[in-house]
Amino acid sequence: MVLLDVTVVAVALDPVARGLEMNASAMHRVVLVYALSLAALVPVGGMATRKFGLLPVFRSGVVLFALASGGCALAPAVGPAASLLLGARAVQGAGAALILPVATTVITDVYEERERGRALATYAGVAQLFFVLGPLAGALLTRFFGWPSVFLVNIPLAGAVLWAIAKARWRDQAPGEPLRVLQPFLMTPALVVLVFALYQSGIWGLDARTVPALALGVLLLALSVRVILRATHPLLDLGLLRNRTYAAAVAVTFLVQAAQLPVLVHGAVYLRQDLHLTVLGSGVALLPFVAALAVGTFASGFLLERFQAIRVPVLWGLAVATLGTAAWAAVLPWGAYLWQVPGMIVAGLGMGMPIPALSAEMMSAVTVDERADASVLRQTLRQLGGAFGFAAAGALVLSANDRESNAAGIIKASATLHGFVFASIVLAVTFALAAAKLPRKGPLFRNRV
pLDDT: is 5 or 255 the higher one? 255
User: Given a cut of 60, is residue 447 above it in pLDDT?
Assistant: no
What is the pLDDT at residue 430? 96
Residue type, 324: G
pLDDT in tens, 41-50: 888 888 888 7
Q: How far is CA 269 from the centre of its chain?
A: 17
Q: Where is mean pLDDT largest: 81-85, 109-113, 114-118, 279-283?
A: 279-283
What is the pLDDT at residue 267? 92
Residue 378 to residue 357: CA distance in whole angstroms = 13
Query: Buried (b) or exposed (e) across 167-185, using 16+ Cβ within 10 A?
Result: eeeeeeeeeeeeebeebbe
Is 166 exposed, middle or buried (CB count within 10 Å of its CB: 0-12, 13-18, 19+)? exposed
Least Cα distance to 342 among 268, 300, 279, 292 occurs for 292
Vertex 273 angle, CA 333 and 267, to 5°: 65
What is the pLDDT at residue 60? 93
The residues of the chain that CATH labels 1.20.1250.20 are 1-169, 240-448
What is the pLDDT at residue 326? 96
Helices (H), 20-112: 24-52, 54-73, 81-110
Q: Which helix (H) or strand (E) holds 176?
A: none
Residue 151 to residue 71: CA distance in whole angstroms = 8
Instruction: Report, as an integer, the average pLDDT of 48-62.
Output: 87
Q: Give the pTM.
A: 0.88
Least Cα distance to 350 among 303, 317, 301 occurs for 317
User: Given a cut of 80, is residue 148 above it in pLDDT?
Assistant: yes
Instruction: Report, as an integer, the average pLDDT of 30-53.
Output: 87
pLDDT in tens, 382-420: 989 999 999 999 999 999 998 888 888 899 999 999 999
pLDDT in tens, 180-225: 778 888 888 999 999 999 998 888 887 778 889 999 999 999 999 9
User: Given a cut of 60, is residue 446 above it in pLDDT?
Assistant: no
pLDDT band of residue 231 (cuts 50, 70, 90) is confident
Least Cα distance to 95 among 60, 46, 50 occurs for 60
User: Given a cut of 50, is residue 448 above it in pLDDT?
Assistant: no
The region of weakest confidence among 179-188, 267-276, 428-437 is 179-188
Task: Return mean pLDDT, the chain.
Answer: 87
For domain 1-169, the CATH architecture is Up-down Bundle (1.20)
User: Given a cut of 80, is residue 108 above it in pLDDT?
Assistant: no
Least Cα distance to 132 among 297, 355, 291 occurs for 291
User: Given a cut of 90, is residue 346 above it in pLDDT?
Assistant: yes
pLDDT in tens, 354-365: 988 888 888 788
pLDDT band of residue 135 (cuts 50, 70, 90) is confident
pLDDT: is 364 or 158 the higher one? 158
- What CATH class does 240-448 carry? mainly alpha
User: Given a cut of 60, is residue 274 above it in pLDDT?
Assistant: yes
235: helix, strand or coil: coil
166: helix, strand or coil: helix
Instruction: Report, as an integer, the average pLDDT of 17-30.
Output: 87
Instruction: Report, as an integer, the average pLDDT of 165-173.
Output: 76
Among residues of the chain, what percentage have pLDDT more than 90? 41
